[in-house]
Amino acid sequence: MSQKHFGTDGIRGRVGKEQITPEFCLRLSWAIGKIFANEKRRPHILIGKDTRISGYMLESVLQSGFVSAGADVSLLGPIPTPAIAHLTRAVSADVGVVISASHNPFYDNGIKLFDGKGNKLGDAVELLIEAMIDQPMLCQDSESLGRASRISDAPGRYVEFCKNTAPREFSLRGVKIVLDCAHGATYQTAPRVFSELGAEVIATAVEPDGFNINEGCGSTHPQSLQQRVIEEAADLGIAFDGDGDRLVMVDADGNLLDGDHLLYVIARSRQRREIMHGGVVGTVMSNLGLERALQSLALPFVRAAVGDRHIMEALHQRQWTLGGEPSGHILTLDMCSTGDAIVAGLQVLVAMQDVGQSLRELAAGLTKAPQVLLNVVVDTPAAVSVHPDLVGATRAHELAMGERGRILVRASGTEPLLRIMVEGEDQGEVTRVAEDLAEHAKGIQNA
């Protein structure tokens, strides 16, 4: 069965449209509560959110639906997505609910679900929820209603968890770090983690107002961070996305390091410390330079489809623990059940301290192949991606480039975008091919 409501990463959309409405979210939470209802005890469900203005509305609606189905609810407030996964497991809850649209603008929002082990909810359970949504919504009798409370020390618990993923002797004393928290879910916890480990922290984008999340800041807009690192003469900078599961980093010279660089640094460090379990899982978007750099270390590398769920599946199949995407979504499954940007950043800093090298020096072993990624706004990305005109143009370029490059055209699973990636040996050729395919996509959209 195909899923009607759940996408590649939960449910996401424009607030007030389609599924991100009070009515739908009320039915959704009631359905989840009913699915997890148990004759012996009430389900326990955690709700956390990022800093979007719509989070207040959705939090209240979801709470009502859960309580009406007889489930107890614990509210976590604004907190990173990986913190919700961790706390769901730590307090033995049945479900962890994330209200966030990650790196999207403030007018979008979404709902992601974790199971009791802190893993993304499986397809089979999502199908059960979708079937329950269409059933008549019946409220429990008063004596069977759930209760709602707040876990006031949730941020503090998560801060301690993050710090404990670093070695006991690890210290950031003498290290100057600029943090860009995207006015998002990490605005409270990330500065605490790094400062309590001894770093001199300059925190930016930590004043959320409900509307400025990801706006000109964060991992998708790192330019201001690059400039600030140079101005402050900092050792490095870290930019998180809106919900705290992705990061990019900036070295002392202002150079941007994406997820491919960070994966390489972490993998090399783990190999050196003899704690590397197997190889590394990337995606079809991972740069050829990463593959070659890992080959030089004799580390296996495999590609999965885009999305942390696909990376997770590939890691579990091979019993490996390290994987990620160029966007900065890094999975360290020996420490976390999901992608955690703060933990990944700490792993990079552990690597720096272990060998006494700067971030620039550590990343120097990876030389990226020329790559261009263009995002084309279209109404129906999936349809445009398989349109004969675009498919034909893509095939013609592939034949012309041969083994000198590769092309990937795919519909975004979270935004109305067609993503075009071209990689090769010559920057000029790569750019020309990407721009030509983008023009084809725009022509199809306009037609």
Query: Which are the catalytic amino acids?
Result: 102
Length of the chain: 447
CA dist., res. 222 & res. 180, Å (int): 8
- Residue whose C-alpha is closest to residue 263's, from 335, 318, 327: 327
**Cα–Cα dist 209/184, whole Å:** 10
Q: Helix, strand or coil for residue 187?
A: coil
* Residue that is written with structure tokens 């197997």 in the block: 278
Contact yes or no for 303/260 (Cβ under 8 A): no
Strand pairing report for 417-424 and 200-204 = unpaired
Rounded-to-integer distance, Cα 394 and Cα 400, Å: 10
Helices marked H in 285-414: 288-296, 308-318, 341-355, 359-363, 381-385, 388-401
**Are 237 and 249 in contact, with CB atoms under 8 Å apart?**
yes
Give CA separation, 2 vs 35, 127, 217, 228, in Å: 19, 8, 36, 46
Cβ atoms of 350 and 404 within 8 Å: the answer is no
Whether the Cβ atoms of residue 116 and residue 67 lie closer than 8 Å to each other = no
The C-alpha atoms of residue 393 and residue 433 are separated, in whole angstroms, by 9
Q: How many Å apart are CA 252 and CA 261, to the nearest integer?
A: 15
Residue 10's DSSP bridge partners are: 7
Determine phi and psi for 446, rounding to 5 degrees: -65, -35
Residue 24 is given by DSSP the state H
Closest CA to 214 of 108, 105, 111, 109: 105
CB 249 within 8 A of CB 329: no
Q: Per residue, what are the HEC states of 107-160?
A: CEEEEEEECCCCCECCHHHHHHHHHHHCCCCCCCCHHHCCCEEECCCHHHHHHH
Longest dimension (CA), the chain: 71
